[in-house]
Structure 1
Amino acid sequence: MRRVGIDKLKKDMVLAKPIYTSNGVILLKEGTLLTEKFIDKIHDIDVDYIYIRDELSEGIEIEALISEETVLSTKKALEDSMEKMRKGYFSASQSIVEKVDAVISEVVANPHVMVSLQEIRNRDEYLHMHSINVCVISLLIGKKLNYNDAQLRHLALGAILHDVGKTQIKYDVIRYREDYVEKEYKIYKEHVRLGYEMIKSIPQSSLLAANIALTHHEHYDGTGFPLGKKNTSIHEFSRIVAVANEYDNLLYNLPKDTHMRHYEIVEMIVSRAYTWFDPEIIKIFRKSISPYPISTGVVLNDGRIGIVARLNEDFPTRPVIRIIDEDSMVAIGEVDLSVNLSTLIIDEKEIDK
Structure 2
Amino acid sequence: MEHYLGKRAKEDIVNSYGVTIVPANTTIDGDALELIIKHRVNADTIVLESDEAAPAAAPLEDAEISRSVQHLKELYQSIRLSRKVPIWEIRNEVLPDVMGAAETSDVFQLLEKIKGKDDYTYEHHIGVAALSSLIGRWMNLSEPELSSLTLAALLHDIGKIKVPDELLMKPGKLTEEEMRLVRKHTVYGYELLRETKGINHRIALVALQHHEREGGGGYPFGLKQDKIDPFSSIVAVADVFHAMSSKRPYREPYPFNELLRQMGQEKFGGLNPQVVSVFLRNLSNKLVGQQVRLTDGRAGEVVYVNPNQPEYPLVKTADEGFVDLSREREAGIREITFNE
Q: Counterparts in 2 of 1:37-76, with a 5 A limit? A: 67-76=61-70
1:104 aligns with 2:99: yes
Partner of 1:155: 149
Alpha-carbon distance change, 124 to 174 in structure 1, aligned in 2, over 3 angstroms: farther
Shift of the alpha carbon at 1:92? 3.3
Assess if the C-alpha contact under 8 Å between 1:163 and 1:195 holds in 2.
yes
TM-score, structure 2 as length reference: 0.68
**Per-residue Cα deviation, 1:300-335 (whole angstroms, up to 9, x for no partner):** 9xxx93234789798955778563449xxxxxxx86
1:207 aligns with 2:201: yes
Alpha-carbon distance change, 93 to 198 in structure 1, aligned in 2, over 3 angstroms: same
Match of 1:131 among 111, 125, 133: 125
Q: Among all aligned residue pairs of Structure 1 and Structure 2, give the percentage whose two residues are the same amino acid.
A: 23
Tell me whether 112-121 or 132-141 shows the greater mean CA deviation. Answer: 112-121
1:246 aligns with 2:231: no
Partner of 1:265: 259
Partner of 1:307: 300
**Per-residue Cα deviation, 1:187-212 (whole angstroms, up to 9, x for no partner):** 00110111112223444322111110
Q: Distance in 1 between matches of 2:319 and 2:81?
A: 57
**Per-residue Cα deviation, 1:88-111 (whole angstroms, up to 9, x for no partner):** 25253432211213322443x434
Alpha-carbon distance change, 123 to 229 in structure 1, aligned in 2, over 3 angstroms: same
Alpha-carbon distance change, 93 to 172 in structure 1, aligned in 2, over 3 angstroms: farther
Match of 1:296 among 259, 268, 292: 292
1:78 aligns with 2:63: no
- Paired AA for residue 75 in structure 1: V
Assess if the C-alpha contact under 8 Å between 1:299 and 1:348 holds in 2.
yes
Shift of the alpha carbon at 1:122? 6.3
TM-score, structure 1 as length reference: 0.65
Assess if the C-alpha contact under 8 Å between 2:157 and 2:207 holds in 1.
yes
Residue 246 of structure 1 aligns to a residue in which SS?
helix
Q: Counterparts in 2 of 1:180-259, with a 5 A limit? A: 180-254=174-248, 256-257=250-251
Assess if the C-alpha contact under 8 Å between 1:65 and 1:106 holds in 2.
no
Residue 269 of structure 2 aligns to a residue in which SS?
coil
Shift of the alpha carbon at 1:237? 0.5
- Paired AA for residue 276 in structure 2: I
- Paired AA for residue 80 in structure 1: E
Q: Counterparts in 2 of 1:167-178, with a 5 A limit? A: 167-175=161-169
Residue 237 of structure 2 aligns to a residue in which SS?
helix
Assess if the C-alpha contact under 8 Å between 2:237 and 2:271 holds in 1.
yes
Alpha-carbon distance change, 247 to 178 in structure 1, aligned in 2, over 3 angstroms: farther
Assess if the C-alpha contact under 8 Å between 2:208 and 2:220 holds in 1.
yes
Assess if the C-alpha contact under 8 Å between 2:120 and 2:248 holds in 1.
no
Q: Which has the higher strand share?
A: 1
Q: Which has the higher helix share?
A: 2
Q: Distance in 1 between matches of 2:151 and 2:80?
A: 17
Which stretches in structure 1 are left out of the alignment for 5+ residues? 1-61, 327-333
Q: Distance in 1 between matches of 2:252 and 2:66?
A: 28
The alignment of Structure 1 onto Structure 2 pairs a total of residues equal to 276
CA RMSD of aligned residues (A): 3.9
Match of 1:347 among 332, 336, 339: 332
Alpha-carbon distance change, 234 to 176 in structure 1, aligned in 2, over 3 angstroms: farther
Which stretches in structure 2 are left out of the alignment for 5+ residues? 1-55
Assess if the C-alpha contact under 8 Å between 2:73 and 2:122 holds in 1.
yes
